[in-house]
Amino acid sequence: MVLDGETYIGDYNNTGLIYHWDKDYVSDNGGEIRVLRQFLVPLSSDGTLSRVNRMRIRVKRGVATATETAPVAQIRWRFDQNDWGNYEEVDLGAAGDRNPYIDITGIGIGGEISIEVVESDAVEFLITGINLTSEALGR
């Protein structure tokens, strides 16, 4: 949760504990911090089926560090609440890499798409946008 520009997180276990998050911490005492984001996107306003031809992910690139030289995130998707596909690794870029766009093509067909992004490498990570290029197919 973000409140007044500050980030707070709840304990993974059912303890009721809430912690203040500082962006300077990229690991939990050396252990991975798993960040999971899920999105559900309707592909049309009237339920029309659509073919998603491309998913363009815009990320902050070049976040590699001396200890994480090849940082990645994982992304997967599904249509219409069916089974999830396999995770695809998204390269977050070596130090100095500035191209912010990652394209994945041939996504699939459906009325809505669920997207899941997982990041656990100890680097600064930021997705600033996901754009879908789709084609309406009709009912």
Q: What is the pLDDT of residue 11?
A: 75
At residue 133, what are phi and psi to the nearest 5 degrees? -100, 115
The CATH number linked to 108 is 2.60.120.260
On whether residue 124 sits in a domain, the answer given is yes
For 86-98, write each residue's pLDDT tens digit. 999 888 777 777 7
On whether residue 115 sits in a domain, the answer given is yes
Higher confidence at residue 62 or residue 120? 62
Outline where the chain has alpha helix (H). Answer: none
On whether residue 20 sits in a domain, the answer given is no
Helix (H, G, I), strand (E, B) or coil at 53: strand
Residue 108 has pLDDT above 90, yes or no: yes
At residue 56, what are phi and psi to the nearest 5 degrees? -105, 120
Give the distance, in angstroms, between the CA of residue 8 and the centroid of all CA atoms in the same chain.
19
Give residue 70's domain range: 31-138
Q: Are 58 and 100 in contact (CB under 8 A)?
A: yes
Mean pLDDT of 103-120: 91
Q: What is the pLDDT of residue 31?
A: 63
- Separation of alpha carbons 113 and 65, rounded Å: 33
The count of structural domains within the chain is: 1
Higher confidence at residue 127 or residue 135? 135
pLDDT bin (cut points 50, 70, 90) of residue 34 is: low
On whether residue 21 sits in a domain, the answer given is no
Query: Which are the contacts of 61, defined by CB distance < 8 A and separation ≥ 6?
Result: 92, 93, 97, 98, 99, 100
For 35-87, write each residue's pLDDT tens digit. 778 889 999 888 889 999 999 988 877 777 777 777 788 899 999 999 999 99
Which stretch, 69-73, 106-110, 117-121, has highest mean pLDDT? 106-110
On whether residue 101 sits in a domain, the answer given is yes
Q: What is the pLDDT of residue 84?
A: 95
Q: What is the pLDDT of residue 29?
A: 62
pTM given for the model? 0.72
